[in-house]
Amino acid sequence: MRNSVLILILFLVFASSVYILSCSSEPQPTLSELMRERESDLKLLKAAIENDELIDLPEFVPFIDGIPSRENLETDSFRAELAAFDIYYSTLSQQEAETIKDRYTAVVQFCITCHQRHCPGPIRAIRNLEFEPVDEPGLILFD
Ligand code: HEC
């Protein structure tokens, strides 16, 4: 009898600790939060590339783990795009001076292509991540 009370108490302690631990875990980030975070990570990377430095990519949560704000961002095809982007982005963690600029440029192009179709609002801000565009032909800078 005493044993079974003890077992019951132990079980309750175990069950409540599982409950408490599961509730205090980190909340899942939204897709927008992850995108903003990535934007500032890429700014750091861009500055490093411009200074001919190689830096480690800051740790990141894949886009596929972000919670989207609307239902039409939960389709299989949109999720496949996010997953493809995640793979693309992770290529930036293998830093090699000769190819880093091209890989960086390809990642930023991917950001822009997806935004043109699904979320045009931030495109101007994303374009700031591109390397300086070449002067437009015919543009007169000095008289
Ligand atoms: C596969 C498509 C896709 C790719 C790739 C993508 N985005 Fe987004 N992005 C979205 C969508 C869709 C939203 C809106 C998310 C929502 O409403 O839940 C968004 C939101 C944003 C926002 C706005 C966040 C806010 O303030 O609400 C920024 C900034 C952003 N993305 C930047 C980027 C950058 C920088 C990249 C590349 C590193 C990128 N995105 C790659 C689809 C994409």
- Mean pLDDT along residues 107-115: 96
Residue 17 pLDDT = 56
- Find the 91 Cα to ligand 1 centroid distance in Å: 19
Please give the mean pLDDT across all residues of the chain. 86
What percentage of residues in the chain have a pLDDT greater than 90? 69
Taking the alpha carbons at both ends of the chain, their separation in whole angstroms is: 99
Of 55, 28, 53, 30, which is closest to residue 41 (Cα–Cα)? 55
Atom of ligand 1 nearest to the CA of 33: 24
Residue 3 pLDDT = 74
- Mean pLDDT along residues 99-111: 95
CA distances from 36 to 1, 8, 43, 66, 103 (A): 59, 48, 11, 12, 20
Nearby residues of 60 by Cβ (< 8 Å), 6 or more positions away: 34, 37, 38, 41, 89
Residue 32 pLDDT = 97
Residue 99 pLDDT = 94
Residue 143 lies in a domain: no
Residue 74 lies in a domain: yes
Residue 4 pLDDT = 74
Residue 6 lies in a domain: no
Does ligand 1 come within 6 angstroms of the Cβ of 110?
yes
Q: Whose CA is nearest to atom 17 of ligand 1?
A: 69
Query: Model confidence over 121-137: pLDDT tens digits?
Result: 999 999 999 997 655 55
Residue 15 pLDDT = 58
Residue 52 lies in a domain: yes
Does ligand 1 come within 6 angstroms of the Cβ of 112?
no
Query: Model confidence over 28-46: pLDDT tens digits?
Result: 999 999 999 999 999 999 9
Nearby residues of 86 by Cβ (< 8 Å), 6 or more positions away: 62, 63, 64
Residue 48 binned pLDDT confidence (cut-offs 50, 70, 90) = very high
Residue 136 lies in a domain: no
Per the structure, how many domains does the chain have?
A: 1
Residue 106 has pLDDT above 90, yes or no: yes
Residue 84 lies in a domain: yes
Does ligand 1 come within 6 angstroms of the Cβ of 43?
no
Query: Model confidence over 6-22: pLDDT tens digits?
Result: 666 666 665 555 555 55
What range defines the domain where residue 55 resides?
A: 31-127
Separation of alpha carbons 118 and 6, rounded Å:
58
